[in-house]
Each structure stands twice: as C-alpha cells, then as structure tokens.
Amino acid sequence: MRPPKPLPQRRIRRAEAVPEMAEQQSPAASEPLVLAGGEIVERTGRRHADITVLDGRIAAVDPPGTGRDGSAHVIDATGCVVAAGLVDLFSRLGEPGNEEAETVATATAAAALGGFTAVLAQPDTDPPLDRLGQLAELRRNAAGRHCAVVAAATITADRVGKRLSPMAELADAGVRWFTDVGPLADSGLLRRALQYTGPLGGTVSVRPATAHLGGTAAMAEGAVSARMGLAGEPAASEELAANAAIGVARITGGRLHLDRISAARTVELVRAAKAEGIDVSASVAAEHLYFIDVDADGYDTLMRAEPPYRTAQDQAALVAGVNDRTIDAVVSGHSPVPPQAKDLPFDEAPPGVAALETCAALLLGHPDISVETALDALAWRPAELASATHLGGGAIEPGQPANLVVFDLERPWTLAERGSVSMARNTPHRNRQMGAMVTATIVAGRTVVTDGALCSMAGTVAALTAGTT
C-alpha cells in the first residue's frame, strides 16, 4: 500500500461565491425570448420550430423563421437540439456541513451549465435534512439560484436507521422523496417507510448494498481488486439487498427506487419486478456507463466511485437497461469531495465524483444510446419520478413552464478550456474532450446559460414554485 501523501493546506472558499468564469448578461424574464431554428426533441418525436418564451412560460411554438420578433432577445439554436430541461435525481449540494467542497450557489451554477433546470438535493448533510426547519433553510438558500432545487428528506431520524423521520409533516410541506442516501439494513423500517409514504404519494429510495458483504469497500470484487490488493464489494452485496427491497415493495405496494445500481443481476431483478407490476424504479450514475473496474487500476482516487465501477459485463447490462427503460434515470451522482480528502491512499479516500457539468455530455455522447433515450433518462422520466414536471422534463407547448436546454451535439469542449463553476475538482474528465455542449439553459423563463457560459444572476431567476423546491 502506498504511504499517505502530506495533506495540502486547507483552503476554504466563501460560501456564496461562484468561481470566476466568463459571464453573460441574462435578459429579464419579462422580456420576450425566442429560441430560433432548433430541432425540438420530445417523447412525441422531433420537429424544427421557434419557441417564444414570455413571463416564465412558453408563449408560442411556431414554424422555423416565423417566431422572431424585433423586440425579442433571440438565441440562435440552428443545428442544435432543444429539449425540456434536465432533472437530476441525485445531487449532493454541500450545504450544510461540506461547504469546503461545494455550496448550493456553486452546485446549482454547475447544474445549469450541465443542462439541468432542477436537481434533487440529497439529505445526507450535516445535520441531515429530517425536519421542517432544515427544509425551510434549504429552500431559502436555494431561492433565486441558477436552477431549481427539489428537497429530499431522510427516511430515518438523524439518518441513523433507528426510527422514521416525520414523513407526514415533510410530505405536507411538499417533500416527495425520502432516502438515507445509502443502504437501509432494517427491512422492517423499510416496510414501514413504504407503507407510510404510499398514501402520501412519496417515493422511498435506497442504494442496495449489504454491509457485511463489503458494501463499503473501495473496489468491486474481482481480478482487478485482487491485483490491487484491495478488499472488494461483490456484486452479490448489491443483488441481495436489491432483491430484499423489491420483496418489501411487493408486500407493501409502496413506491421503491433503487438508487445508482451497478450490477448486471440487479438490472435483471428490476426488469422482472416491473414485469410483475411492482412499483419500482431504478437509476444509474452516468460514470458507470463510461468506466469499468479496470479503469481504476492505478490507484487514482478520482476513480473511486460510489458504488464502485464493475466489470464490462455489468456495464453492458446497465446500458441495455437504460435502452429498454428498465433503468428509469441516469443521474449525475454529484458528490463533491475536498481535494485534500482525495489526496489519500485509494482505500482511505472518500468515494465520489463531481459530475453535474459532465453528466449529460457523457450520456448524449454515448455510442450505444440514442438522443431520445438519453433525454428520457435525463429529463422526462426523472421529472415524473420526482413530481417535478413543472421544473423540467415537461412538454414543450404553449402555456407550459419555460424550462429548456439547448445542446450542440457537434461542439467539442473540455472542462479545462471552458472553466468549471463547481468548487469540487474531483472529476476524471477535466481534460477529456466532450461533445454535446450545453449552449443555453432556460429556467422558469430566465436565461441562465447562453453561448455555453453562465449568465449573471443580477436580479434573480423567476420564482420556482414555493413549496416544491
């Protein structure tokens, strides 16, 4: 095992600061905006059209060349894909408790640059989000940011797996997603949570892993972990936990989400459960469609992910699961880690990848996944699962909220050249050339990204529907 490296001097950034990069001035939400000449991609098909946005909503969808108004601000989307805003089902926003690595301000700015108009904030903060006061504080902090923030709350009080959080109170306040952001070992608690949230219209999300089978190991178990001399997490750790959770969902009728699955057998279990009519959904992190365990054979801590990368066979099953809609959502899994924490030996460094700015580019550039399938997994289905179609993933029709993203699929870029607004630097993609650049993001009618650059937030983003942020 390598000796630990000395820790660099700790640097703390101001909590509200967004890292410097070129900013564009955003037109006011009350001014007409036209997205001209783009190809709209929806579930119903493709069409070329001009989209007029006014007062936070889509005012008109007209044939190409007919929607331009001399008084409107025009974004030329010629040659680009225009889609409903993306919705991320897994983002760690840093606050409270991890402000050294990320803040709500910087995370939402990164999300907007990645094409997300809404993110589901994970509640594994310090303290965990399990009370109304913490929910209110997150909403105050998230107001007027570069994208909407939807709050998830913990399943158990203090996130310690002993007793349920006050789910009814939280649901009354608009929370629809409950997760302890990891395994829930107590099947009895999971059963009560699913029974409790069913009538409330809520979803219970767990990451399937079995602690006594290496559910916290640094690597997936196999030839690579053996060669590296590291303890591994067998695929059975995930498969057994997923099977148990599905069994509990079967007897309760509750809505279960399996978070960031990684093993081929888990995909099969989800596919069979859906065929049986069990109310189960699943997600995968975009990184797991790109990397496998061999890529971590070098002790680079940027390659330590949660869950760990598995074999090429597992990855092929994940891609197939996305393509046949067994896997409902592809998530960023955004998990900011301070640089000094990643500067430890591989098995001591915390897992996690900063991925909000690269998630969509990875998926839209995947050679085996179509644009429509990618958008289904990044926008349409996640918005439904999070009860957030008013914040992203909705229909592009007159009268609908204007949450939109424009992608140039042929415009190469790198994080290093464009600059990153996330405080987190734990990404393996800094110098990797990407396709599918986000050239514009519209949140509640306000342009927050234009020409691939973050817009100034002088003024604020239009109101983001109080009670559901």
User: CB–CB of 440/450 below 8 Å?
Assistant: yes
- The dihedral built from the CA positions of residue 32, 34, 35 and 40, taken in this order, carries a sign that is positive
Taking the C-alpha atoms of residue 369 and residue 385, their distance in angstroms, rounded to an integer, is: 21
The span from the CA of 301 to the CA of 228, in Å, is 13
Provide CATH 2.30.40.10 ranges for the chain.
Answer: 25-82+399-456
- Pair type for strands 280-285 and 329-331: parallel
Distance CA 259, CA 265 (A): 15
CA distance linking residue 358 with residue 415, whole number of Å: 8
Q: Which residue has the tokens 């790109």?
A: 290
User: Is a pLDDT exceeding 80 seen at residue 12?
Assistant: no
Q: Confidence band (pLDDT; 50, 70, 90) for 457?
A: low
Q: Which residues contact 25 (CB under 8 A, 6 or more apart)?
A: 455, 456, 458
Task: Give the list of residues 6+ apart from residue 188 with CB closer than 8 angstroms, or none.
Answer: none
Rounded to whole angstroms, the Cα distance separating 209 from 150 reads: 25
Q: Which two tokens stand for residue 320?
A: 């197939």
Give the number of other Cβ atoms within 10 Å of residue 80's Cβ. 23
H/E stretch holding 106 reads helix 104-113
pLDDT digits (tens, 9 = 90+) for 199-227: 999 999 999 999 878 667 889 999 999 99
Confidence of residue 182 (pLDDT cuts 50, 70, 90): confident
Q: What whole-number percentage of the chain has pLDDT above 90?
A: 85
Return the number of other C-beta atoms located less than 10 Å from residue 294's C-beta: 14
Give the integer Cα–Cα distance in Å for 169 and 438.
38
Type and span of the H or E element at 50: strand 45-54
- The SS3 call for residue 255 is coil
Domain 84-385 sits in CATH at: 3.20.20.140
Mean pLDDT of the residues in the chain: 91
* d(C-alpha 215, C-alpha 228), whole Å: 18
- For residue range 445-456, list pLDDT tens digits in order: 999 999 999 998
CATH 3.20.20.140 placement within the chain = 84-385
Q: Is the pLDDT of residue 247 over 50?
A: yes
Calculate mean pLDDT across residues 308-324.
98
Distance between CA atoms of 401 and 310, rounded to whole angstroms? Answer: 40
Gap between the Cα atoms of 440 and 106, Å rounded = 18
160 DSSP assignment: S
Residue pair 301/349 in contact by the 8 Å Cβ criterion: yes
Q: Which two tokens stand for residue 402?
A: 């204007």
Rounded mean pLDDT, 102-108: 97
CA dihedral 314→315→316→320, nearest 10 degrees, is 100
Tokens at 72, concatenated: 């409107």
Specify whether the CB–CB gap between 109 and 18 falls below 8 A. Answer: yes
Sign of CA pseudo-dihedral 245, 180, 108, 411: negative
What is the predicted pLDDT for the residue at 26?
Answer: 58
- Non-local (6+) Cβ contacts of 372 within 8 A are 41, 43
Q: Is the pLDDT of residue 134 over 50?
A: yes
Facing residues of 61 across strands?
Answer: 51
The pLDDT assigned to 69 comes to 66
- Structure confidence at residue 346 (pLDDT): 95
Options 2.40.10.410, 3.40.720.10, 2.30.40.10, 1.10.3720.10; CATH for 25-82+399-456 is 2.30.40.10
pLDDT band at 13 (very low <50, low <70, confident <90, very high): very low
Dihedrals phi, psi of 293, to nearest 5 degrees: -60, -35
pLDDT of 212 reads 79
Amino acid at 281: S
3-state secondary structure of 300: coil
Q: What is the pLDDT of residues 59-99, one digit of tens each?
A: 999 999 886 667 789 999 999 999 999 999 999 999 999 99
Element (H, E) at 46: strand 45-54
For 210-214, 290-294, 438-442, which range has the lowest pLDDT when averaged over its residues?
210-214
Q: Residue 328 above 80 pLDDT?
A: yes
User: Residue 5: what pLDDT?
Assistant: 32
Task: For residues 228 and 15, give the distance between their C-alpha atoms in angstroms, rounded to a whole number.
Answer: 38
Cβ atoms < 10 Å from Cβ of 138: 24
Convert the pLDDT of each residue in 340-357 to its tens digit.
Answer: 999 999 999 999 999 999
User: What letter represents residue 304's amino acid?
Assistant: R
| Greatest Cα pair distance in the chain | 66
pLDDT of residue 467: 32
Which residue would you say has higher pLDDT here, 10 or 21?
Answer: 21
Query: What pLDDT shows up at residue 31?
Result: 84
- For position 10, what pLDDT does the model report? 27
Contact yes or no for 403/112 (Cβ under 8 A): no
Query: pTM of the predicted model, to two decimals?
Result: 0.92
Strands 404-408 and 81-84: antiparallel
**DSSP H/E element including 140:** helix 132-142
